[in-house]
Amino acid sequence: MAIYFISQGRDEMPRWREAFNDARFVSPREITLRMAPGDCIWVMDDTEGWPQLVGELNRRGASVGVMSYSPSAAVAFQALENGARGYVHALSSPELLRQAQLVIMNQGIWVPPDLMARVVGGTFRALGGPDPAHSEALQALTERERAVALAVLEGQSNKEVARTLGITERTVKAHLGAVFSKLGVRDRMQLVLRLSRLSQSLVNAGQD
């Protein structure tokens, strides 16, 4: 498995080198000749036509991540929609870069926590919002747990939920852990799939 880094701008990033000293810097044209299925490829969003490149690399079996000097929820969505499995700040610490690499190589999704909240909110809205059929599941939660769950589904980060509800981030995490446990989900995205209006119809369609 090879690790490649694609950028049209700056081609040397000390933190990246520290995280992956065997990474190879290549051009968009070179990568199509060098890559093999299973390779990990990071694409800077200053690369011309990067969304199309990410899509092509994904279709050819690479695990693709996108890096940005100015991360935004809009670009994160665009990256994920085109098949990227990771989206990180280009100046992240070597440790965080290695964590992101591990996640995407194991077919997970990695985005910064603050952007993950936005991704969750957008996904929930795209799936039709709350499903009335799942109201019984919400009734199993305490009033404060329900408030935390609904705020998370709207796309709020833990810090924003804490500010909205007038509690600490630590308390938000505790309530969210209880929500996950009671509803049998592992993370924010599973919470979306558990409670959204269209999720069950999508599951049923996939079984036809």
Of the residues 79, 111, 143, the one at which a domain ends: 111
Domain hosting residue 145, numbered range: 118-200
Closest to 196 measured CA to CA, from 145, 140, 152: 152
Looking at the structure of the chain, the number of domains it has is: 2
Residues of the chain with pLDDT under 70: 9-14, 133-135, 197-208
Q: What's this model's pTM, rounded to 2 decimal places?
A: 0.66
162 within 8 A of 169, measured Cβ to Cβ: yes
Task: Give yes or no: residues 51 and 126 share one domain.
Answer: no
| 206 found inside a domain | no
Of the residues 111, 134, 165, the one at which a domain ends: 111
Task: Give yes or no: residues 106 and 146 share one domain.
Answer: no
175 within 8 A of 144, measured Cβ to Cβ: yes
What does the pLDDT look like over 101-144, one tens digit per residue?
Answer: 999 998 888 887 777 777 778 777 877 777 776 667 788 899 99
Task: Give yes or no: residues 75 and 139 share one domain.
Answer: no
Residue identified by tokens 């098949």 is: 83
Task: Give yes or no: residues 149 and 188 share one domain.
Answer: yes
Task: Give yes or no: residues 100 and 138 share one domain.
Answer: no
83 within 8 A of 107, measured Cβ to Cβ: no
| 208 found inside a domain | no
Helix, strand, coil shares of the chain, percent, nearest 5, are: 55, 10, 30
Residue 64's CATH number: 3.40.50.2300
Of the residues 76, 111, 146, the one at which a domain ends: 111
Task: Give yes or no: residues 159 and 67 share one domain.
Answer: no
